[in-house]
């Protein structure tokens, strides 16, 4: 083994920071879902349990739409508070996307609740698309 190989302990020195970023990210993702299901006028998880594919597509898109900028914030942040701040900005953008979609297409929530898959897929894809753009913009 060459002399400049780091020891196993040195290789694990970043583990506490990894754990902090990972725990914060999982908490933020859970919080984003909790907020999303509170602002929508239908019970997503009950609809999903009942087999409503439209609700599943909508929530899946919202999850991905926030996870992408969250990942970008993790990669590009300087500190954990920096990551938390930009993740909050990313969440605000995602919530604004839903609000604008609901305002411009007021039938979407009822359509998703009724299981109209096209509406759920559209809403989910919109969240994911804006999330991808949001992630790119967070690559400051």
Domain count, the chain: 1
What digits encode the pLDDT tens for the residues 75-94? 999 999 999 999 999 999 99
Q: Is residue 40 part of a domain?
A: yes
2 vs 84, higher pLDDT: 84
Q: Is residue 33 part of a domain?
A: yes
Q: Is residue 3 part of a domain?
A: no
The tokens of 58 are what?
Answer: 């909508």
Q: Is residue 19 part of a domain?
A: yes
Q: Is residue 52 part of a domain?
A: yes
Query: Nearest 5°: phi and psi at 2?
Result: -60, 155
- CA–centroid distance for 83 within its chain: 14
- pTM beyond 0.85: the answer is yes
Range of the domain at 43: 8-137
What digits encode the pLDDT tens for the residues 8-34? 777 788 899 999 999 999 999 999 999
Q: Is residue 18 part of a domain?
A: yes
């Amino acid at each position: 083994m060459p002399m400049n190989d780091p020891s196993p302990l040195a290789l694990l020195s970043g583990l506490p920071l990894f754990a902090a970023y990972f725990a914060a990210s999982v908490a933020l993702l859970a919080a984003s879902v909790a907020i999303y299901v509170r602002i929508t006028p239908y019970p997503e998880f009950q609809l999903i349990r009942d087999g409503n594919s439209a609700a599943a597509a909508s929530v899946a898109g919202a999850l991905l739409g926030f996870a992408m900028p969250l990942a970008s914030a993790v990669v590009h942040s300087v500190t954990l508070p920096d990551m938390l701040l930009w993740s909050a900005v990313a969440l605000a953008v995602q919530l604004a996307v839903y609000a604008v979609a609901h305002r411009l297409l007021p039938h979407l929530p009822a359509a998703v609740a009724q299981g109209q898959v096209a509406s759920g897929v559209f809403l989910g894809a919109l969240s994911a698309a804006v999330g991808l753009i949001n992630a790119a913009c967070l690559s400051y």
